[in-house]
Amino acid sequence: MTRVIGSRLLSTILVLFGVSLVVFLLLQMVPGDPAVTILGSGATAETVAALRTELGLDRSLPVQFFDYLGGLVSGDLGRSLTINAPVTDIMLPRFWNTLILTGAALLLCIVVAVPLGVIAAHKQYSIFDRASMMISLAGASVPVYWFGLLLIGVFAITLGWLPTSGMYNPRFPGGSGDLLAHLVLPAIAAALVPLAVIARMTRSVMIDVLQQDYIRTLRASGLSTSSVLWRHGLRNALPPIVNIIGLQVGYLLGGVVFVEVVFGWPGLGQQLYTSITQRDIPVVQAGVLFIALAFVIINLFADTAVGLLDPRTRRKVGA
Partner 1 sequence: MNAVTGAVGAGRSLFKVRRYPAGGPMPTEVAAPKPQWRLAARAFGKDRMAVVSLVVLLLVALAAIFAPLLTPYSPIAGDPVDRLAGVGTEGHLLGLDGQGRDIWTRLLYGGRNSLTVAVVPVLVVFPLALMIGLFAGFKRSRAGEVLMRVLDVLFAFPLVLLAIALSAVLGAGLGNVMLAIGITLIPYMARVAYTATVQESSKDYVEAARAYGANPLLLMFRELMPNVVVQLLVYATTLCGLMIVVASGLSFLGVGVIPPTPDWGIMTADGKNVLLEGIYHVATIPGLLILVVSLAFNLIGDGIRDALDPRKQTS
CB of 144 to partner 1, least distance (A): 7
Is 144 one of the binding residues for partner 1 (CB under 8 A)?
yes
Choosing from 66, 96, 146, 161, the residue that interacts with partner 1 (CB under 8 A) is 146
Instruction: Choose among 97, 64, 85, 53: nearest CA to 283.
Output: 85
In the stretch 233-262, what mask flags binding to partner 1 with x, by CB under 8 A? -----------------xx-xxx-xx--xx
CB of 235 to partner 1, least distance (A): 28
CB of 287 to partner 1, least distance (A): 8
Is 83 one of the binding residues for partner 1 (CB under 8 A)?
no
Closer by beta carbon to partner 1, 218 or else 306: 306
Is 140 one of the binding residues for partner 1 (CB under 8 A)?
yes
Closer by beta carbon to partner 1, 236 or else 270: 270
Is 145 one of the binding residues for partner 1 (CB under 8 A)?
yes
- Cα distance between residue 187 and residue 144, in whole Å: 11
Choosing from 48, 207, 215, 276, the residue that interacts with partner 1 (CB under 8 A) is 276
CB of 191 to partner 1, least distance (A): 15
Choosing from 69, 111, 137, 180, the residue that interacts with partner 1 (CB under 8 A) is 137
Give the interface segment with partner 1, choosing from 87-95, 146-154, 202-210, 234-242 (CB under 8 A): 146-154
167-198 in b/e form (b: 16+ CB < 10 A) is beeeeeeeeeebbeebbbbbbbbbbbbbbbbb
Would you tell me which residues interact with partner 1 (CB under 8 A)?
Answer: 15-16, 18-19, 21-22, 26-27, 29-31, 137-138, 140-147, 149-150, 152-153, 157-158, 164, 250-251, 253-255, 257-258, 261-262, 272-273, 276-277, 281, 284, 288, 291-292, 295-296
